[in-house]
Structure 1
Amino acid sequence: MPTPVSDSTGQGPRRRTLLVAGAAAVAVSSATGGTAWGGAPRDDAYDASYDTLLARAAEQLTGGAFDAADPDFAAALTALDTQASDWWRQLDRSTGRTALWADLSPATEPGNFGQSYTRLRTLATAWATPGTSLSDSAETADALLDALRFLHSTAYHPGRPESGNWWFWEIGAPRALMDTCVLLRARLPADELAAYTAAVARFCPDPDRRTNSPSLAETGANRADKAVIVALRGLLARDAATVALARDGLSDIRDGGRNSLFQYVTSGDGFYEDGSFVQHGSVAYTGTYGSVLLGGVGQLIALLADSAWAVTDPKTSVLYEAVERTFSPVVFDGLMMDAVRGRAISRERARDHDDGAATLSHILKLASGAPAPYAERWRALAKGWIRRNKVTPYPGLVGIPAIARAKAVLDDPAVPAADRITGHHAFTSMDRVVHRRPGWALALSLSSKRIAAYEAGNGENLHGWYTGDGMSYLYDGDDLGQFGDAFWATVDPYRLPGTTVDTRARDDIGTGGGTGTYRPKNAVAGGAVLEGRYGASAMELLAEGSTLRARKAWFCLDNAVVALGAGIGASEGRTVETVVENRNLHLGGPARRLTVDGRGQPGRDGWSARFERARWAHLDGTGGYVFPDFPGRADDHGLRALREERTGAWRDINTGADTGGSASPVTRRYLTLWFDHGVSPVDASYAYVLLPGASAAATAAWARTRPVRVVANDVVQAVEARRDGVLAAHFWGPGRVGGLSVSGPGTVLVRRSHRGVSLAVADPGRTETSLAVELPFPVRKVVRADDTVAVRPGRRPVVTVQVGGSRGRTHAAELV
């Protein structure tokens, strides 16, 4: 069990509540980045700027002028109107009320007043948007003003001390309140507006500190969120110094840039040079916190542009580079990969397509103020993502402002639709690996003593036990609903693809207040990248609450991923399994055919079988699986297969105050393949190959011809791809394989071709100072090498790599 961490540590929930059910109109916690370079202007000299910028802020919420007859806008408008009308009908306007909505009673509870402000913002947005049933309604405006008075007097005012989750007090409620005030500013009496900005000033005085823990400096998305709130408060209060404080918070002027959002970090929260993004100190969070930060930066840059408070920090390039370095590799046809969404995977109303759409929207928002070379590439990326996703179309996921930006790109013939990116990405600072080919992508979720295996808390991610134990996410361009179609509500959480597990029963995690993380004790997690095309990764599994241990490795090649496991052992008397696949077959339609060694298997739910010495399998619509021989193979328990229909509820995995799922049952069908290592195995092992998109005939041919050979699977795990001239290995200690020898633990890839030799070396355990690699063929000279690489040419060349202090990154050389 993770130890719950109090919310004062900065591990409160990230909320991306949508204005419209099923259509994200405005993100509740849009974050910001921007930088301050310059002083605060005098109020009297810049008074006209407030009105200009407030009008711009309102347009960011409503989308400004648009054609309501346009089908795309019409759908978003209808969605906004439907949600707002529903909440309008349920709004309690009686004099003796204790809450604005019956399901958010009493209003004094932080989660309830926080969500109440969010709903009021939705109503205000509908009131301010032409074409809704509430547009410019005097009755609606009066009711909104009265509701704001009620919440201020009852629940959210400077006289109340914080209680419960800090996030509602310092980010959730003040952001929604300030947005609502922006929309209603022409109607708000001056004294009431002053009272509301005073309340926000009490709980969110600046972007720099946690109010309920003043010694705690805000970082990452939390800092960005607060900068937006402070900027809006400053504009509404016509206080130039406060607007400047918001801008300056992005660059952390107060603390000399220590927590600037425009820098690469080497530990803790923020962007890393290898493309990683971490929040809460140890969680891979590109897809939620990182996305929120990106969105806020774009919003604040656009909001303050051409004003006395314009963001002019020269280091904004860090954010611009992050679009392609950090975000693009983890977005697949508009879907945000679940491996970087943390506990958000358990949120029914924020699935991979929702967070992907939010990120896409943020990128286009940032493009509006970015230098042309960046903006042109980003728009092409976005156009490709939008056009390829026919399963969850972008216009149905976002609101009017985002649709307007997207339509400008889609309708511009000068903007090409970029193809899917390809390549291998090792995000060593967050223990994530992404391998991308033209038709598919694979993401690996690893963990170590540096990066959490999971985060849970505030009722979220109750069954996330194994999500960081080597879970493999296979994305297929023909099945974009694999993880977004109720996967987390229905999948067997003990059988996640890629994991090796002790089958003991587990208790729910994260049921209490606050959030907590579990970091295992292993050092090795990560690997090396060769030519940006091939990759080898490894992870030592030290299971939580069990004696289970395993050495796991993955080798990512052009059309295949080879997964190896060795040294698998446990002593508690329970069965240990390694899961090859657990594919969501959705609901309805004909059963997808499973073939094992050329024989079709039954398609009925409830079918199961054991296959001794299976050589290959194929699942229609997904691809092939090969089970190769390897030195020392002892396949005593064989491959297992199961078809099942599984029913669950989102409430089973998320009971959060404002993210809790529905208790309504949902059902999906699954095909599961796994190895049964038996009870308390000793030194068990496995090998399997994923062939995404391959036909049954191609899979059978691959199994027969073995273009990739497993050459070791013990204290060295290695494969050889003969056609490509690639030898890839992870050494768990000093060793030799295929004529290649290494002086200590590390990952090595070598490719030999007619052009010469490419070499990649990494120390994913971060335990060594240097590694000596002896090559099994002659080398005459060095063509190119990193400054950490020294080569002694000759008949048996030795390459010495200074890996100390490199935090697991790849060191490369090209030789002839």
Structure 2
Amino acid sequence: MAAKASNTVTAALASASDMPLTPVHFQRLRQRWKATVTGKHTRVSSDDVYFALSKLSGTAEQYIVNMQPSRLHIWEDLSPIHLSVNFRKSYERLRTIAQSYSIPGTIHYHDLNVQETVIQSLDFIGSEIYNASVVQAKGENWWNFRIGAPLALVDIAILLYDDLTPRRRHDIGATIVKNIGSIGQRSLKGANRADICLALIGAGVITNEETVVSRGRWCLSDKEYDGENSIFDLVESGEGLYEGGSYLSHEIFPYSGGYGVQHYYSLSKAVNVLSKSPYHIDDTELGVTFAAINSTFSPVMWRGMMMGHIRGRDIARKSEPDAFWGNLFLQSLLYFADTELVPRKHRRFFKSLARSIWEAAPLPDLYGLNITQAFGMQKVLEERIPPAAPPIGTFATPMSDRIMHHRPGWAAALAMSSSRIGRYEALNHENLKPWYQGDGFLYVYTDKDPLHFSNDYWPTMDPYHTPGVTNGQNPQGPPAYKFTAHKDWAGGLDWRGTHGLAGLDALSTDKGSSAKKSWFFLLNSIVALGAGCAGLSGAEVHTTYESRNLPIIGSNFSINGQYQISDPGWIKPWVETHDQADWAYLDSFGGYVFLDKEPVSFKHEKRKGKWTDINQYPDYLGFSDSITREYLTIYRNHGVDPTDGHYAYALLPNASAAETEDFATMPPINVTHNTPKLQAIQFNNTVMANFWSGGTIGYLTAVTPCSITWGYSGVEDKYLTISVSDPTQKATRIVLFINDPDIGGVAEKDDSIQLRWGRAGETGSVTITVNVEGAHGRTHRVSFERISWRGTLESLPWRPSAKESSTSTTTTASRRIRPAATKKPAANHTATTSTKGGHKPAPAKHKASKAGKTSARTTKAVKPVKTAKPTKSVKPVKTVKLAKTNTQVKTDTSVKLVKSNFGTTKRSPEAEKTSLRTPRTSPGVTKAATTPTIPKSTPYTTSH
């Protein structure tokens, strides 16, 4: 990686070495920089621009009116100004005023009194507080000195460039260069490197010093260490972009929605500013950067907002909500799109994605586009560029212990931790109640209540009832900083891009509670299993199914169809346990189904809090008003210090009450195992399982621990595909054994997989060895042809290509017979078979049909499969023999393209549904050879 980066740096350096910067170059650099701060001024035609101008004018006017200059401060609330946080924030306020002075349409545009006020304030800070002679005091935050203050100061100096004397410009540039200091540290990576490089480039632009511009430019590529810490490449440790879509900051914290966005913002601004100079950054260096837009950032956004599970301690900042980071990422896309060196197809896609972010926002002025973002979006709208399709499917980022699942109308994100990844970040007196944020926190976002996590959730939520988490109710002490979890297992896999599986070996920070936890992300539901729930703290251990911040409208709640109502729109306050709760429904969320028929507790309460309860950093001490919100909490009480508790439930986001009741009456999934050794579910022709210590399900035996999913794939279920991963990231190999008479030849396999057949020249019995050393938890796949499938490639309506395909196939869930008195089950609980890049098995060779002939195709009626109703009885787990179920035919010829990887497309699962036929039996195939391998539904059992 370093050698490759070194070659790129050398080539780019050679192109710039013979072209020194001229005064014309510096003038263009300043013009482009100014445009990134003020926006490109065009005719105002957008409500967003009017709103941004009004907001900018009002904020600047407020700052001017509240000025109280003295020897100790410019603003009284930022006193004493010699503290780094106060002079940095003073610069940021002065930048806002300078923007209002520089942009036509504001109330301060070219007001000489405003200009003089800003210049005098700069002189005061520069002479007394922050200059080339200042020494950082012990205990001060280095970020204010090296990044925060320099970036604000550069913007001010460029906005007022023509109004500043050459001496002032020189002093400002010298101050920035001196306080940034050395940039050769190997620890300087990711967002911090991008910020510092941008500030250096700006300092050189202010003073017309090419050496400073050059230093900042080549720091981006880490020329000093041959590209070892180049922000254009993937990293293997520390801060930055990782393989598989992860972004880490401070070595162990997932941060694509915070530091990752800041990384992209500063890099995109540098790319934009330098694009017309000899020090430009061309697209040959930006391949990894552009690819990560889809793999790292799009999957962690919902409705234009950055999800909370990848924002670290930023969730505790009132002034930086999820929409703020979504808007900042939008601005990065606009900077890239406004750079001619970026290929046109990329620029168009960036604008398309920016428009999708803008249109998806549930409340456009939730935080509000700033003036640069507003002008940029106005241009995109004038170009009539359509929005990009939102991501659909499951996205796993194993290097950061995160899984995202996107469906039409809702999305989910799971935050886990391990011996590799920190549980939470609590730094600089921020995020003061984070104890269980990395212990299986399940975020669920829905169209029914799109602002759930933006509605003052973080200061009012119950930190001891975090959705998805199993924990003791004993009080926790002050949070520590920078430590990982106790266990290795945290991760899972995606199944053909549409479904997901995750598992967490949970042991709390104080080691007072533990559990084996699994999540199954399906098309219309999330199934959660827990086993081995135990405690040692002398307190009750709870598993929280839900803790919902209730909106005023849409908060009606029912249990088994009976509504709990006091006043219209609000549920009555209570705390109670139901022994016979089968399902529940919340209007502002959807449904909850309790699969194991055990007691469930419900609590409705008013919760009070202040943002300063969770953030004591000086930047955010102004948010001390008391806030009241109403919460609905659903949880399982395992008792005091349990030894082997368990749970099983399903979430149905965006479902109706009727759909929830149907799911509870006749579950479309079957929980086959829920023990500390094995947790698994089966639906249609698919089985998903976490083998905590190995075991057997049907024809498949896992010799070593692993996460695994197997089932039918391809056109007409032609293949049996197995996906497997090592969530511990500590194993060297995974060994599986299959004795399935329906397995034929190999259609496709990853290079990491080796096969050993049981008998030479025969099929059906095979040992699969997967080399997972150094794989970092990624998914490995192998596909076999099914002997019971008898057809030719030429007879199919679509011929699988020899390599990956973007076609998806959807099958309707196998229906189960219910008692006559019950309602018809929900029709939209379906299982999808689709393919992402690398998922589609290649076909084996078949004899070609005669030229010009097309095989006739017919669809046979399929009878529903009988199933046993789930029972409460606890029985020892028996090995479940798998038996295939037939599927009903459902077709849909519409096709909708969804962006899945940069520069590629895939079809959305619900947009194309290819009909599935009953496999034919060819002469010579015995009945035993065609015996189905997926089981009929078996009663839910729990074994300890």
The equivalent residue for 1:556 is: 521
The answer for the alignment partner of 2:777 in structure 1 is 808
Shift of 1:770: 1.2
Matched-pair contact (CA < 8 Å) for 2:19–2:278:
no
Identity %: 32
State the match for 2:546 in structure 1. Answer: 581
> CA 1:104/1:393 → structure 2, altered by over 3 Å: closer, same or farther?
closer
How much does 1:739 deviate?
3.5
Q: What are the Cα deviations for residues 536-576 of structure 1, in whole angstroms up to 9, with x where unaligned?
A: 11111111113311111111112121111111111221011
Deviation at 1:442, TM superposition (A): 0.7
Aligned equivalents of 1:306 and 1:189: distance in 2? 26
Aligned to 2:589: 622
1-structure distance, mates of 2:705, 2:44:
62
1:283-298 maps to which residues of 2 (within 5 A)? 283-298=253-268
Distance 1:748 1:280 in 2: 32
1:727 aligns with 2:727: no
Q: Does 1:788 align with 2:752?
A: yes
C-alpha separation in 2, matches of 1:283 and 1:35: 34
**Greater mean alpha carbon deviation, residues 313-322 or residues 199-208:** 199-208
Q: Which residue of 2 aligns with 1:21?
A: none
Map of 1:249-648 to 2, 5 A cutoff? 249-312=219-282, 314-369=284-339, 370-393=342-365, 397-413=368-384, 415-509=385-479, 516-586=481-551, 588-589=552-553, 592-602=555-565, 603-629=570-596, 635=598, 638-648=599-609
Report the alpha carbon displacement of residue 583 of structure 1 after superposing the two structures with TM: 1.1
1:114 to 88, 91, 94: 88
1:84 Cα offset (Å) = 0.4
Structure 1 residue matching 2:85: 3-state secondary structure: helix
Q: Distance in 1 between matches of 2:739 and 2:388?
A: 41
Find the aligned partners of 1:610 and 1:379 in 2 and give their Cα distance: 51
Q: 1:217: Cα distance to partner? A: 3.1
Contact 2:198 2:266 in 1 (8 A): yes
Measured after TM superposition, the shift of residue 70 of structure 1 is 4.6
Find the aligned partners of 1:315 and 1:267 in 2 and give their Cα distance. 20
Deviations 1:177-213 (A, max 9, x none): 111111111111111221121111111145444xxxx
Does the residue aligned with 2:266 lie in a helix, a strand or coil?
helix
Aligned to 1:656: 617
CA drift of 1:300 comes to 0.9
Residue in structure 2 matching 1:84, options 54, 57, 60: 60
Deviation by residue 1:660-705 (Cα, 9 ceiling, x = unmatched)? 4511011221111011111011111111111111111111111121
Distance 1:248 1:808 in 2: 34
> Is residue 129 of structure 1 aligned with residue 103 of structure 2?
yes
Letter in 1 for 2:693: G
Which is worse superposed, 299-308 or 336-345? Answer: 299-308
In structure 2, C-alpha distance between the alignment counterparts of 1:313 and 1:205, rounded to whole Å: 29
Partners of 2:382 and 2:20 lie apart in 1 by 43
Structure of greater relative contact order (alpha carbons < 8 Å, 6+ residues apart): 1
Contact 1:716–1:737 (8 Å) recurs in 2? no
Change (3 A) 1:68 1:606: same
From 699, 722, 743, the equivalent of 1:759 is 722
Secondary structure of 1:694's aligned partner? coil
Amino acid at match of 1:790: Q
CA distance in 2, matches of 1:367, 1:45: 24
Residue 642 of structure 2 aligns with an amino acid whose one-letter code is: P
Aligned match of 2:74: 100
Q: Check 1:223–1:44 CA distance in 2 against 1; reply closer, same or farther (3 A cut).
A: closer
Contact 1:641 1:674 in 2 (8 A): yes
Q: Normalized against structure 2, the TM-score is what?
A: 0.78
User: How many residues are matched?
Assistant: 760
Judged with a 3 Å threshold, the aligned counterparts in structure 2 of structure 1 residues 69 and 722 are, in CA distance, closer, same or farther, namely: closer
Sort the Cα spacing of 1:489 and 1:234 in 2 relative to 1 into closer, same or farther, 3 A.
same
Q: Work out the CA distance in 2 between the residues paired with 1:661 and 1:812.
A: 53
Output one character per residue of 1:385-425: Cα deviation in whole Å (capped at 9) or x when no partner.
Answer: 3223232448x622121112212222333x22233211111
Q: Which amino acid aligns with 2:561?
A: G
Unaligned stretches of 5+ residues in structure 1 = 1-32, 210-215, 511-515
Retained in 2: the 8 A contact 1:716–1:729?
A: no
- Aligned-pair RMSD on alpha carbons? 2.0
Against the structure 1 CA distance between its residues 37 and 783, is the aligned structure 2 distance closer, same or farther, given a 3 Å change threshold?
Answer: farther
1:244 and 2:210 matched: no
Give secondary structure in 2 for the equivalent of 1:118. Answer: helix
- What secondary structure sits across from 2:453 in the alignment? coil
**Alignment correspondent of 1:15:** none
- Name 1:61's counterpart in structure 2: 37
Secondary structure (helix, strand or coil) at the match of 2:638 reads: strand
TM-score, normalised via structure 1 length: 0.90
* 1:692 to 1:76, Cα distance in 2 relative to 1, 3 A: same
Amino acid at match of 2:369: V
Specify the code of the residue in structure 1 equivalent to 2:744.
R
Most deviating of 373-382 and 170-179: 373-382
Larger Rg: 2
Q: Is the 8 A contact 2:448 2:654 kept in 1?
A: no
**Preserved contact between residue 678 and residue 694 of structure 2 (Cα < 8 Å):** no
Of 692, 697, 706, which residue of structure 1 is paired with 2:667?
706
Distance in 2, Cα, partners of 1:426 & 1:552: 17
Residues 228, 605 of structure 1: alpha-carbon distance in 2 compared, 3 angstrom cutoff: farther
Q: Deviations over 1:262-300 (max 9, x none)?
A: 111222211112001111100000001100111112111
- For the residue of structure 1 that corresponds to 2:740, the secondary structure is coil
Deviation at 1:35, TM superposition (A): 10
User: CA 1:742–1:174 in structure 2 vs 1: closer, same or farther (change >3 Å)?
Assistant: same
Q: CA deviation at 1:255?
A: 0.7
| Cα distance between partner residues in 1 of 2:510 and 2:778 | 30
**Amino acid of the structure 2 residue aligned with 1:612:** D
What SS does structure 2 have at the residue aligned with 1:671?
strand
CA distance in 2 between counterparts of 1:419 and 1:556 reads: 21
2:564 partner letter? Q
CA distance in 1, matches of 2:412, 2:45: 41
User: How far apart are the structure 1 equivalents of 2:19 and 2:338?
Assistant: 28
Give the 3 Å change call, closer, same or farther, for CA 38–180 of structure 1 in structure 2.
Answer: farther
Partner of 2:696: 736
Q: Return the letter of the residue paired with 2:415.
A: S
Gaps of 5+ in 2: 1-8, 758-762, 786-944
- Tell me the CA shift for residue 36 of structure 1: 5.3
Instruction: Tell whether 2:174 aligns with 1:198.
Output: yes
Maintained 8 Å contact 1:744/1:768 = no
List aligned pairs for 1:157-172, cutoff 5 A. 157-163=131-137, 164-172=140-148
Q: Which moved more, 1:613-622 or 1:525-534?
A: 613-622
On the 8 A contact 2:595/2:664 being kept in 1, the answer is yes
2:768 corresponding residue in structure 1: 799
Runs of 4+ off more than 6 Å: none
Report if the CA contact (8 A) 1:780-1:815 is conserved. yes
1:672 to 609, 612, 633: 633
1:314: Cα distance to partner? 2.2
* Counterpart check, 1:221 vs 2:182: no
Name the SS for the 2:285 alignment partner.
Answer: helix
